[in-house]
Amino acid sequence: MTQGIEPTQLYDAYVFDMDGTIYLGEDLLPGAERLITELRQREIPVRFLSNNPTKDPGQYAEKLDRLGLPTAVEEIANTVVVMVRWLQANHPGKTVFPIAEEPLVRALREAGIAISEDPAEIDIVIASYDRTFEYRKLQIAFDAIWYHQRAILVTTNPDKYCPFPGGRGEPDAAAIVAAIEACTGATLAKNVGKPDPDMLTAALAGLDVDPRRAMMVGDRLGTDIQMAVNTDMVSTLVLTGDSTRVEAEALPEANQPTFVLERIDHLVPAAQRAELGWTD
């Protein structure tokens, strides 16, 4: 980690986490709008990435538009997109049981992936962020994995909770994974969300950019920054969301972010900020 030092150059592309990095709730974080606008004016590719499967890319695009950052759907990837791609590439023709909300269920149907609640037919149980989780769903997963001994367990994302403005939060997909593992004795077979490199592949799809010349920017050490570490990518932890500087400094050096910034617009080097007349 380059303590106390800001980036001294711009990179060839930027991949941004969204919640806690670009915005929090319904508000853009300080400096986010002018940073993204400046990068785009310089024709530097910008991509957005999220572990949250409760929205599809179109819904994220609508939110960014509403917050003043018009964004094409093609510039956004999240675990809904990556889960569908992973199933198509690795388990074609298999039947899934998604413990998930409508965006993922809809995407699975649109991709032609078979969905069933019959444990005798289920090949893959998908544990996701699901605010309609109930005992009935747990029983189906249990029967498919433990009783019929046929299904594997996968997840959209490994997050334990989703942070909310004001310090609150909601249990995330890891809580549902833990419930299924606890009763079945199964072990999670695959996580497609950050820090899995599949997420970075999805984010940079279509760009002729060396990942080592791109930067991952996020607020979570265990997902955003670890994904960058896993792919030899430059990373910046912004202190506007989940993880803290103290937590970053406590990590082994190899797992630390390249930079730690209080404000996201400090990704633009100080000399260039001065030329632009930017102040904090």
- Chain mean pLDDT for the chain: 94
Q: Is 55 annotated as a binding residue?
A: no
- One-letter-per-residue 3-state SS of 205-254: CCCCCCHHHEEEEECCHHHHHHHHHHCCCEEEEECCCCCCHHHHHHCCHH
pLDDT tens, 91-148? 999 999 999 999 999 999 999 999 999 999 999 999 999 999 999 999 999 999 999 9
pLDDT, position 193: 95
Q: Which residues contact 76 (CB under 8 A, 6 or more apart)?
A: 47, 48, 49, 50, 57, 60, 61, 64
Q: How many CA atoms lie within 13 A of 271 on its CB side?
A: 4
pLDDT, position 43: 97
Secondary structure element (H or E) that encloses residue 126, with its range: strand 124-127
The token duo for 167 is 């310090």
pLDDT, position 166: 77
Secondary structure element (H or E) that encloses residue 275, with its range: helix 270-276
Mean pLDDT over 8-30 rounds to: 95
Q: How many CB atoms lie within 10 A of CB 147?
A: 13
Pairing of strands 161-163, 169-171: antiparallel
Domain 13-51+194-276 part of CATH 3.40.50.80: no
Q: Is the pLDDT of residue 3 over 80?
A: no
| Rounded Cα distance, 122 and 150, in Å | 7
Mutual orientation of helices 102-110 and 79-90 as an angle, nearest 10°?
Answer: 40
How far is CA 89 from its chain centroid?
20
Kindly report, as residue ranges, where domains of CATH 3.40.50.1000 are found in the chain.
Answer: 13-51+194-276, 90-191
pLDDT, position 25: 85
Q: Which residues contact 263 (CB under 8 A, 6 or more apart)?
A: 30, 31, 238, 240, 280
Active site residues: 17, 19
Q: Is 98 exposed, middle or buried (0-12, 13-18, 19+ CB in 10 A)?
A: buried
What is the model's pTM?
0.88
pLDDT, position 278: 96
Mean pLDDT over 269-280 rounds to: 95
Q: Is 63 annotated as a binding residue?
A: no
pLDDT, position 164: 76
Mean pLDDT over 12-30 rounds to: 94
The token duo for 30 is 């300080």
pLDDT, position 73: 95
Q: Is 50 annotated as a binding residue?
A: yes
Q: Is the pLDDT of residue 4 over 80?
A: no
pLDDT, position 1: 66
DSSP assignment of 153-199 equals EEES---SEEE-GGG-EEE-HHHHHHHHHHHH-----EE-STTSHHH
The residue to which tokens 């984010």 are assigned: 203
DSSP code of residue 11:
-
pLDDT tens, 42-92? 999 999 999 999 999 999 999 999 999 999 999 999 999 999 999 999 999
Give the lowest-confidence range in 11-20, 28-37, 156-165. 156-165
Type of residue found at 235 = S
Q: Is 232 annotated as a binding residue?
A: no
CATH number of 90-191: 3.40.50.1000
pLDDT, position 78: 94
